[in-house]
């Protein structure tokens, strides 16, 4: 078993970990770095629960070895909220009931966070395509789409976000 020391920036903080070469990045994040918000749903890159950002880009962290992240900057769900509180994506998921059991939610929000950076509001079909690497078994995705739309408007529209009507909620 060969061990290696890696240095990475995690949610803006310099961190060091001593890892086996074969250690998956997701296990490094959860076990070595103690950040359990990133979840494991399959270990085979299908479910997307382990999605994080590596240098700002969404990556399924079970597809990378920890040593491949050496020297890189990563962001996990724990890094989404800022000094002013939760991020627009987090707020959107809360406001629009975009989560139920919460297990896929961190990965889903990391994918969504990258998506809402684009200035032009994505269509529903584009949102659905963008999150198609993240499986959710609870929500049926409708409210996740609404959550992402909420976040996009909050970030890119200067006007106050209108409260969306819910079909089942009159």
Chain contacts with another protein (rule: CB under 8 A): 20, 22-23, 27, 30-31, 35-44, 46-47, 49, 76-78, 80-81, 86, 90, 93-95, 97, 99-106, 109, 124, 127-129, 131-145, 166-170
- Residue number, 67 or 71, with CB nearest to another protein: 67
Indicate left, alpha or beta for 34 from its phi (over 0: left) and psi (-120 to 50: alpha).
left
In angstroms, the CA 53 to CA 57 distance is 5
In angstroms, the CA 135 to CA 3 distance is 33
- Residue number, 71 or 137, with CB nearest to another protein: 137
Give buried/exposed letters for 110-139 (b at 16+ CB in 10 A, else e). Answer: bbbbbbbeeeeebeeeebeebbebbbbeeb
- Residue number, 66 or 71, with CB nearest to another protein: 66
In angstroms, the CA 41 to CA 24 distance is 14
CB of 141 to another protein, least distance (A): 4
- Residue number, 158 or 170, with CB nearest to another protein: 170
CB of 109 to another protein, least distance (A): 7
CB of 143 to another protein, least distance (A): 6
CB of 55 to another protein, least distance (A): 20
């Amino acid at each position: 078993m060969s061990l290696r020391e890696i240095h990475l920036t995690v949610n803006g903080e310099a961190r060091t970990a001593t890892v086996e070469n074969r250690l998956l990045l997701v296990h490094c994040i959860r076990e070595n770095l103690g950040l359990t918000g990133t979840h494991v749903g399959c270990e085979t890159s299908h479910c997307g629960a382990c999605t994080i950002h590596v240098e700002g880009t969404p990556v399924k962290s079970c597809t990378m070895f920890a040593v491949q992240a050496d020297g890189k900057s990563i962001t996990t769900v724990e890094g989404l909220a800022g000094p002013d509180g939760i991020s627009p994506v987090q707020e959107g998921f809360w406001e629009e009931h975009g989560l139920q059991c919460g297990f896929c939610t961190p990965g889903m929000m990391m994918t969504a966070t990258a998506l809402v950076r684009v200035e032009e509001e994505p269509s529903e079909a584009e949102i659905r395509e963008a999150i198609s690497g993240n499986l959710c078994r609870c929500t049926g995705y409708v409210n996740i789409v609404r959550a992402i739309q909420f976040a996009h408007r909050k970030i890119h529209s200067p006007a106050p976000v209108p409260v969306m009507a819910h079909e089942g909620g009159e």
